[in-house]
Amino acid sequence: MELMKDGKRTDGRKRDELRPIKIEAGPLYRANGSCYLEWGGNKVMAAVYGPKEAIPRHIQDPRKAIIEAKYNMASFSVSDRKRPGPDRRSREISKITSEALENVVLVEMFPRASIEVEIEILDADAGTRCAGITAAAVAMADAGIPMRDIPVSCAAGKAGDTVVLDLVGTEDMKGQADVPIAIAPRTDDILLLQMDGHMTAEEIDEALELAIHGCHQIAEMQKEALMTKYKTFEEE
Ligand code: UDP
């Protein structure tokens, strides 16, 4: 299958076009904050608990709160049923998600506390770490966790010899490179930068530019989702 034909991608998108994204803030009643997000073929639920006393006590940091993100792929989220439970990949994604969030949350305000973020991937079609971070950020804001900015994440990469925004499953599998990033959109501070595959230095610059532009578009949707929830709340 050709990944790029007449300037169009396998799903008909242009090179700098995002997949359709839908964000809902606060769909869960019992979590302190939550977010449901659909991004192309990805479906993600994120829930936040805390800040609360970190347990066991030896994990407490007397200077700041710790962020414990847990990324999990449901076994039914992929075509080859995934073996349930944590694996190397989910541990890695949990770690990079915690680190991205830690850099924007005012962790110094909550010494000895932990803030738990659970990310459940219900349906997966590439870019689930970006979808997870984007949903976790909205869930954190919904929980009222003080943050310097609302982080947002998006990937760009190379498929069909072209630098493209937001790779879909087939592009991720058959393409040449994938560069997921997360930023704090007010300052464009980079909170996450990974790369899988091969690109030239110029292509990396181009991909970063595309991904940052994509992040800004998604940041608007995050804000809209939060405003919609709190507007409805006020009306009630
Ligand atoms: N994937 C899968 N089984 C797995 C892990 C991943 O089918 O155990 C698929 C899934 O669609 C995922 C994609 O491969 O979204 C790309 O995975 P990657 O590790 O690059 O992370 P992602 O792009 O989802 O952040």
Evaluate the omega torsion of the peptide bond into residue 56 and state whether it is cis, within 30 degrees of 0.
yes
Residues with CB under 6 Å of ligand 1 are 78, 82, 89, 124-129, 169, 172
Cβ contacts of residue 90 below 8 Å, gap of 6+?
Answer: 71, 72, 73
**Any bridge partners for residue 47, and if so which?**
34, 118
User: For the chain, which domains are there?
Assistant: 4-235 (3.30.230.70)
Q: What gap in Å lies between CA 201 and CA 181, rounded to an integer?
A: 16
Q: How many Cα atoms sit within 13 Å of 219 on the Cβ side?
A: 18
Q: How far is the CA of 227 from the centre of ligand 1 (A)?
A: 31
Ligand 1 atom 13, closest CA:
126
Output the six-digit token pair for 94.
Answer: 């949990």
The per-residue pLDDT for 234 is: 73
DSSP readout, 142-180?
A: HTT--BSS--EEEEEEEETTEEEES--HHHHHHSSEEEE
Considering all CA atoms of the chain, what is the largest pairwise distance in Å, rounded to the nearest integer? 59
**Dihedral Cα 146, 192, 48, 27, nearest 10 deg:** 100
Question: Distance between CA 182 and CA 156 in Å, rounded?
Answer: 11
CB-CB contact of 224 with 24 (8 Å): no
Please give the pLDDT value at position 231: 85
Enter the DSSP assignment of 67.
E
Name which residue sits closest to atom 24 of ligand 1, judged by CA. Answer: 128
Q: Which residues of 136-159 are buried (b: 16+ CB within 10 A; e: fewer)?
A: bbbbbbbbebebebbbbbbbbbbb
Residue nearest to atom 18 of ligand 1 (CA): 126
With contact defined as beta carbons under 8 Å apart, do 50 and 113 qualify? yes
116, containing H or E segment: strand 113-123
Give the pLDDT of residue 236.
Answer: 75
Tens of pLDDT along the chain (236 residues) come to 789 999 999 999 999 999 999 999 999 999 999 999 999 999 999 999 999 999 999 999 999 999 999 999 999 999 999 999 999 999 999 999 999 999 999 999 999 999 999 999 999 999 999 999 999 999 999 999 999 999 999 999 999 999 999 999 999 999 999 999 999 999 999 999 999 999 999 999 999 999 999 999 999 999 999 999 988 777 77
Q: Name the residue with the closest Cα to ligand 1, atom 22.
A: 127
Is the Cβ–Cβ distance between 225 and 23 less than 8 Å? yes
For residues 89 and 139, the answer to whether their CB atoms sit within 8 Å is: no
* pLDDT, position 235: 76
